[in-house]
Structure 1
Amino acid sequence: MAPAPPVSGLTTAAVRAIQALGNGQAGRADQIADRLAEAIRLGLIAPGERLPSEATLSEQLGVATLTLREALATLRERGLVVTRRGRAGGSFVARPAGGPHSRSGHADLTVRQLRELGDLRLAVFGTAAALAARRATPPEIETLRRRAARLAAAETAAERRQADAEFGVAVALAAQSPRLTQEEANLRAEWGDLTWTLLGDVGHAEAVRGRLALVDAIGAGDPERARRLAERQVTDEVELLIRWRVGVYRTEAEQ
């Protein structure tokens, strides 16, 4: 008996984030392709993950099936999606050809550039967290708790990156600001995945505690605490990456 095909892991939060990348507009086929490509870079759709059926995904994104089909064809041409036939077939996100650091958006950034990018993330994520504490609805707060729980259960660096990306974008969505959501999504894509490669299990546990504390602050309607916690998360990541970058410089100097 043949094994059942893998089930798509595309969550409701991921779908909402993908929609937010286009400011809620349906868009043409090329716009849908760009939005899905950005979601793949962001990690909202993981390498190797099977996308929902064309009928399901077109309904989720609010576009015609023909429009989605054209978008998927564009993604195949870009090498971002592969399509397999048969019972276990479908459209899958292509796996990167490089090693664990190949998809890092900041592997070549200098310390100064890392700080500048971190400053922008502080402004965006801190503001989003503060606004979420003022505006989030009970269902959105519950969504944040589910996103934090998914991060807690994630085991690999790729799974943790994807879960944390969904959490960050969910915070921006709870702020009720499409522009902030767009900026958060863009920054998450640029930030890359090296953070979760470096953190390890201890760092993962500490990060989960920080996310849960942030959800509690948002749920309590405490914007100042929410901002401080969000900024602490970004600051910790920036410091981790700067230590890594300085270590790379030292290694290169010794060679």
Structure 2
Amino acid sequence: MRSPTGEGGVKETQLGSLLRPVRAGNAFEETVERLLQAIKLGVVPHGERLPSERDLAVHLGISRVTLREAIRSLQEAGYLDVRRGRYGGAFVVYLPPEPGHADLAEAVNQMGAGDLADALTFRMAVECGAAQILATLTLDSAQRAMLLRRLADVNGAAPADYRRLDTAFHLSIAELTGSPLLAAACADARLRVTDLLNAIPVLGPNIAHAAAQHQAIVSAILAGDPDGASRAVAEHLEGTAALLRGFLA
């Protein structure tokens, strides 16, 4: 099957999936939600500028007045710094908190044990499904190069950049299927566990193990092995769940 994204249709970020149109009835609230997704998932990392007001308003299907209200609220909450002038714009100043056991326990307490289990199940379903679907598609050279680049980025990441680049790798699998709904679901699933993952220290042996699992996922996708791709993602996510349980014990 031909990939629906087509030749040259590779997106360099996951912004296209996150910044989808909002519903008119809750335009302000959903705009804040979309922008927070992009910020907290590291799709727009610390120090970088959000797209222009014009582009954001078009993507989100909202007025600039609503967009400015959302940006102002996120500035007041400490996520953005709005600068004026020729080189101005809304710059991300949010940084994930340093890992700590108390933070992990607090994040789980806020979610509730049932919600945590549900979030892990949801993530397993959508990410395994995305990898399985992608393995059935015929990827063009640009798409294959993007997947391999995301793999190299995360597997060569410094500890400070690891979570952000790991997110980019996982989201790129869904993005490459060409399904905005699936890409959005995977972003939502990742966001539900982002605070938990950020509360876990980046451990060398775990990162090395994850690198081998990432390679297995990509190899199965590029080999056109849907079942193998799904199994590789499931093994990887089960390892993450085990790590969470270990730090919560």
Instruction: Give the alignment's TM-score, normalised by structure 2.
Output: 0.75
> Taking structure 1 as reference, are residues 224 and 98 closer, same or farther at Cα in structure 2, changes over 3 Å only?
closer
Change (3 A) 1:106 1:137: farther
Give 1:76's aligned residue: 75
Corresponding residue to 1:21 among 6, 18, 42: 18
Aligned-CA RMSD value: 3.4
CA contact (8 A) 1:103 1:192 kept: no
| Cα distance, 1:41 vs structure 2 | 2.1
**Separation in structure 2 between the aligned mates of residue 193 and residue 205 of structure 1, nearest angstrom:** 22
* Structure 1 residue 224 corresponds to structure 2 residue 223: no
What is aligned with 1:152? 155
Q: Is the 8 A contact 2:54 2:64 kept in 1?
A: no
| Gap change, CA 1:79 and 1:103, over 3 Å in 2 | farther
Runs of 5+ in structure 2 lacking a partner?
1-10
In the alignment, the residues of structure 1 paired with residue 114 and residue 162 of structure 2 have an alpha-carbon distance, to the nearest angstrom, of 26
Q: Give the Å deviation of 1:112.
A: 5.1
Q: CA deviation at 1:222?
A: 0.5
Once the two structures are superposed, residues 85-119 of structure 1 have per-residue CA deviations (whole angstroms, 9 ceiling, x without a partner) of 68986532233595435986944355554333222
The structure-2 alpha-carbon separation of the partners of 1:141 and 1:95, relative to structure 1 and needing over 3 Å to count, comes to: same
Distance 1:59 1:25, change over 3 A: closer
Distance 2:125 2:224 in 1: 19
Q: Which residue of 2 aligns with 1:169?
A: 171
Q: Is the 8 A contact 1:111 1:245 kept in 2?
A: no
TM superposition shift of 1:143: 1.2
Gap runs ≥5 in structure 1: 1-11, 247-255
Task: Identify the residue that residue 238 of structure 2 maps to in structure 1.
Answer: 235
The Cα offsets for residues 105-140 of structure 1, whole Å up to 9 and x where unpaired, read as 944355554333222211111111100101252222
In the alignment, which residue of structure 1 is the partner of 2:128? 126
Q: Compared with structure 1, are the counterparts of its residues 177 and 53 closer, same or farther at alpha carbon in structure 2 (3 Å cutoff)?
A: closer
Q: 1:94 to 1:135 in 2, by over 3 A?
A: same
Q: Secondary structure at the match of 1:192?
A: helix
Against the structure 1 CA distance between its residues 77 and 182, is the aligned structure 2 distance closer, same or farther, given a 3 Å change threshold?
A: same
Partner residue of 1:185?
Answer: 187
Aligned partners of 2:31 and 2:60 also within 8 Å? no
- Asked if the contact 1:130–1:227 (Cα under 8 Å) also holds between the matched residues in 2, the reply is yes
Corresponding position of 1:251: none
Q: 1:122 to 1:199 in 2, by over 3 A?
A: same
CA drift of 1:210 comes to 1.2
Q: How many residues align?
A: 231
CA distance in 1, matches of 2:214, 2:96: 31
**Distance in 2 (alpha carbons) for counterparts of 1:85 and 1:111:** 44
SS of equivalent to 1:91: strand
Distance in 2 between residues matched to 1:180 and 1:211, nearest whole Å: 20
1:176 counterpart letter in structure 2? G
Provide the identity percentage.
27
Whether the aligned pair in 2 keeps the contact of 1:148 and 1:211 (CA below 8 Å) is yes
Whole-Å Cα distance in 1 between the matches of residues 75 and 173 of structure 2? 31
8 Å CA contact retained: 2:99, 2:201: no
Between 100-109 and 57-66, report the one with greater CA deviation: 57-66
Do the aligned partners of 1:217 and 1:226 also contact (CA within 8 Å) in 2? Answer: yes
Look up the match of 1:41.
Answer: 40
